Chains A and B, each alone.
Chain A
Amino acid sequence: MIEVKDLHKSFGEAHILKGISTVFEKGKTNLIIGQSGSGKTVFLKCLLGLFEYEKGAISYEGHVMSELTANEKRDLRAQIGMVFQGSALFDSMTIAENVMFPLRMFTKQSKSEMEDRVDFVLKRVNLPDAHKKMPSEASGGMQKRVAIARAIVNNPKYLFCDEPNSGLDPKTAIVIDNLIQEITDEYQMTTVINSHDMNSVMEIGEKIVFLKDGYKEWEGSKDTIFKTDNEAVTNFVYSSNLFKKVRRMYIEENQ
């Protein structure tokens, strides 16, 4: 579980996060949504410890991140897996080497143990034969799956994903969404996803936090988002005619 209390973050004069408080629960896919410039990426980077914040607290299982020693922070980071928007695979390594990288850095496993684990996670993300390919030879969807494999290879407690569906076709996006949700259930991880994709919101949003202008405007789930009267949320989520119709049908069916 990750708990955020009254989080504030500024860059010079620009106040980006204005007192965000929320809880991301274990074993759930938690989505952060909002328009471009609403502070989603800054929020995610604060959660990851890539940005220092001015005020507030982020706790991992009750341990406040800013109070951890360097070694404790290192231990915490070893329990975090991250899927970046552009996958962030290392260009100079093959797909197998990319996935093996966290094992080489943080474990004392033998080469054969590491290879077995890489085989297992690559099979888990449906890429059993991609070991020797370079990232540049893989499609966008494959790269995302490799990034997920790299993120989970060390059995992390926390999985963060920044726009995992960006640049993917709708079918592949659904495959990635389902994969993240299955892995979250399977390993009982705390998963936090930063997303623009309304399909993801409807499909896997077990908890949704909506940010607007640096404030937490609304929070709920994929079920409650259909019923909310919050104008900012409905304007954002149901901006397309298709989603407006879906919402209308959902409300009519459930009346």
Chain B
Amino acid sequence: MKYLHNIGVYFLMIKDMFRKPTKWSVMRTLILKDIDDLIINSLGIVAFISFFVGGVVAIQTSLNISNPLIPKYLVGFATRQSIILEFAPTFISIIMAGKVGSFITSSIGTMRVTEQIDALEVMGINSLNYLVFPKFIALSLYPFIISIAMFLGVLGGLAACVYGGYGTLEDYIEGIQTDFIPFHIVYAFIKTLVFAFLLATIPSFYGYFMKGGALEVGKASTTSFVWTSVVIILANYFLTSLLLG
């Protein structure tokens, strides 16, 4: 019953997020600040992880090809497919649920604990619109991060493959061009947009409706990470069945 109740409250929160909009001059500042906090500040870690995981995928694929009948370009092909279809959109989103999600939950949760949300409400401001809507808009730029993750993942695979001596540049380039289906990119970005919505709203829900003190802010951040990850994995399964199945 508690889960059903929480799901209901979550959808009401989303409805209220669009109600009674904050003055545009203030909202613009909030959106720019959230773009900086959530998007720009995540670029470093996403770039680092993507580049090296791309490299590891290429090395693993190369090491597991022992049959001489399997063409060498398969390393590039497998790296591209893994990065574009799953690693960049889904696993970067899980990492972002930890980084961005816990930031959102703890910042909103701290505002709840220190009565800053009550202060907004007393002033007649729709606190959900003020706090959650800018994050939702900022994270609509999330596909930008994922396209960088895709590019750097494939580039990391190339670097590992060529400079590690696992294959030639020509084979790798041929691999990443083989059987390329443009819809896979569309599929990845549809997933990314859905995950962006989840990344903005689920952590906000856990921060906004938390009760208690500083200890509960920490607990809410952990719970938020767990549930954001679970919902992303489930959404990934259903979207994959729907779009590629």
| Binding between chains A and B | yes
Taking Cβ atoms with an 8 Å cutoff, the residues of A that contact B are: 48, 50, 70, 73-74, 76-78, 80, 82, 84-86, 88-92, 101-102, 104-106, 160
Q: Mark B112-137, 1 if CB is under 8 A from A, else 0.
A: 00111011011111000000000000
Taking Cβ atoms with an 8 Å cutoff, the residues of B that contact A are: 20, 22-23, 25-26, 33, 110-111, 114-116, 118-119, 121-125
Q: Are B115 and A74 in contact (CB under 8 A)?
A: no
With contacts A104-B23, A104-B25, A105-B23 taken as known, whether A84 is within 8 angstroms of B124 at the C-beta atoms is no
Shortest distance from the beta carbon of A48 to any chain B beta carbon, whole Å: 5
User: How far is A92 from B119 in the complex, measured between Cα atoms in Å?
Assistant: 14
A-B contact pairs, 26 of them (CB 8 A): A50-B118, A50-B121, A70-B20, A74-B124, A76-B124, A77-B124, A78-B123, A82-B119, A82-B123, A84-B115, A84-B119, A85-B115, A86-B114, A86-B115, A88-B114, A88-B115, A88-B118, A91-B116, A101-B123, A104-B23, A105-B22, A105-B23, A105-B26, A105-B123, A106-B123, A160-B122
Q: Are A105 and B125 in contact (CB under 8 A)?
A: yes
Max count, chain A CB within 10 A of own CB: residue among B23, B111, B116 = B116
In the complex, residue of chain A having the shortest beta-carbon distance to the beta carbon of B113 = A86
Q: Are A77 and B110 in contact (CB under 8 A)?
A: no
Contacts of A48 in B (CB 8 A): 122
Contacts of A77 in B (CB 8 A): 122-124
Interface pairs A-B: 6 shortest CB-CB: A77-B124, A88-B115, A88-B119, A84-B115, A82-B122, A74-B124
Contacts of A84 in B (CB 8 A): 115, 118-119
Contacts of B125 in A (CB 8 A): 105
Contacts of A105 in B (CB 8 A): 22-23, 26, 123, 125
User: How far is A89 from B26 in the complex, measured between Cα atoms in Å?
Assistant: 17
User: How far is A83 from B153 in the complex, measured between Cα atoms in Å?
Assistant: 52
Q: Are B122 and A50 in contact (CB under 8 A)?
A: yes
With contacts A88-B114, A88-B115 taken as known, whether A80 is within 8 angstroms of B23 at the C-beta atoms is no
User: How far is A48 from B115 in the complex, measured between Cα atoms in Å?
Assistant: 14
User: How far is A76 from B124 in the complex, measured between Cα atoms in Å?
Assistant: 9
In the complex, residue of chain A having the shortest beta-carbon distance to the beta carbon of B26 = A104
Contacts of A86 in B (CB 8 A): 114-115
Q: Are A73 and B124 in contact (CB under 8 A)?
A: yes
Shortest distance from the beta carbon of B212 to any chain A beta carbon, whole Å: 14
Contacts of A76 in B (CB 8 A): 124
User: How far is A93 from B55 in the complex, measured between Cα atoms in Å?
Assistant: 42
Shortest distance from the beta carbon of B165 to any chain A beta carbon, whole Å: 50
Shortest distance from the beta carbon of B51 to any chain A beta carbon, whole Å: 32
Known: A86-B115, A91-B111, A106-B124. 15 other contacts (CB 8 A): A50-B121, A50-B122, A77-B123, A78-B123, A82-B119, A88-B115, A89-B116, A91-B110, A92-B33, A102-B123, A104-B26, A105-B23, A105-B26, A105-B123, A105-B125
User: How far is A82 from B22 in the complex, measured between Cα atoms in Å?
Assistant: 20
In the complex, residue of chain A having the shortest beta-carbon distance to the beta carbon of B30 = A92
Shortest distance from the beta carbon of B22 to any chain A beta carbon, whole Å: 8
Contacts of A50 in B (CB 8 A): 118, 121-122
In the complex, residue of chain A having the shortest beta-carbon distance to the beta carbon of B126 = A74
Shortest distance from the beta carbon of B81 to any chain A beta carbon, whole Å: 42
User: How far is A137 from B152 in the complex, measured between Cα atoms in Å?
Assistant: 41
Contacts of A89 in B (CB 8 A): 116
User: How far is A79 from B132 in the complex, measured between Cα atoms in Å?
Assistant: 26
Shortest distance from the beta carbon of A249 to any chain B beta carbon, whole Å: 39
Contacts of A88 in B (CB 8 A): 114-116, 118-119
